[in-house]
Amino acid sequence: MKLQDNIREAKQKKGILLMTHIVLGYPSFEVNRAVIGQMVDKGVDLIEMQIPFSEPMADGPVIVKANQDSLANGTRLADCLDFAGEMAATHKIPFLLMTYYNILFKYGLEKFCRKTADLRIKGFIIPDLPPEEGAEYLGYCRQYGLAPIFIYAPTSTPARMRELARYGEGFIYCVARRGVTGSQTTFGREFAEYMAQCRASTELPLAVGFGIRNRDDVNAVKGRAEIAVIGSETIRLVDAEGASAVGPFIAGLR
C-alpha cells in the first residue's frame, strides 16, 4: 500500500493525524528509543527521523543544535540506518527519513534507496533537493517503492505547487510560514488562504509543520490538512524535562 493510502485510511479514524520529528542520536539513541516508544504508545501516526547533518539549512536553532550535538557525540550514518530499521521493525506505523542531499549523494543514491527500502522505511524528506535536480533520486524512489516528499512554502506560486505535486508521493509537507523550524506560527486568515491554495494544487494528503506547539495549533490545522507535524517542541521538552515528559505531551495534542 502506498504511503498516501496509509494516510487516508488512518485519517478516516481520526480528525487529524500527528507526525513527530526526532534527530537521530540526540541526545542519544537510547533516549530516541524511549521517546519513540512513548510517541507510538500515545497515538502518533507517523515519525520523521532526521539523519544529522553539519549544515541543516531548513532547520531552526533547536534542531540545528540537536544535529550538531549528535554529530559531536559520534553519530554515524550506519548507526542511524541500523536504528531506523530497528524502529520500523518494532513499531507498526510509517517511518520516514529526513536529511540533506549530500548524505544520499555520498552514500550512493541507489544503495541508499535500496538499503532504506529493505529497512521498511516509507519515504524521504530532502529539503535541499528540488525535483529538477533529482531525476536519478526520483527514479530510485519509484524502483524501490519509496515516497519522495516535497515541500510547499508560503512563497510557492500555484504553478510551482502543481509542479512539485507532479513529482511527489505520500503527502506534501506544507511549511506554515516563512523562515526555519521552531518559531511560533500564527494561524490566521493568511494561513487559511495559503492552505486553500495548497489543497487546490494537489490530490495528495497535506501535512503542516513549522511552529506547531500545542493542542490549539493542532486544532487550527484540523480541517485544512491531514497531518499536523510537531518537531522542535518535543526536542525542547526532552531537553527541559526528560524523555518521560513526551508521552503526556503527545496525549494532550488531540
Helical pair 158-167 and 189-201, crossing angle rounded to 10 deg: 50
* C-alpha closest to that of 127 among 80, 77, 63: 63
203 is catalytic: no
Task: Please tell me which residue in 48, 169, 226, 233 is annotated as part of the active site.
Answer: 48
φ, ψ at 49 (rounded to 5°): -105, 120
Neighbours of 79 (CB within 10 A): 15
Task: Please tell me which residue in 45, 59, 169, 226 is annotated as part of the active site.
Answer: 59
Helical pair 29-41 and 232-241, crossing angle rounded to 10 deg: 110
69 is catalytic: no
φ, ψ at 96 (rounded to 5°): -120, 155
First to last CA, the chain: 26
Residues designated catalytic: 48, 59
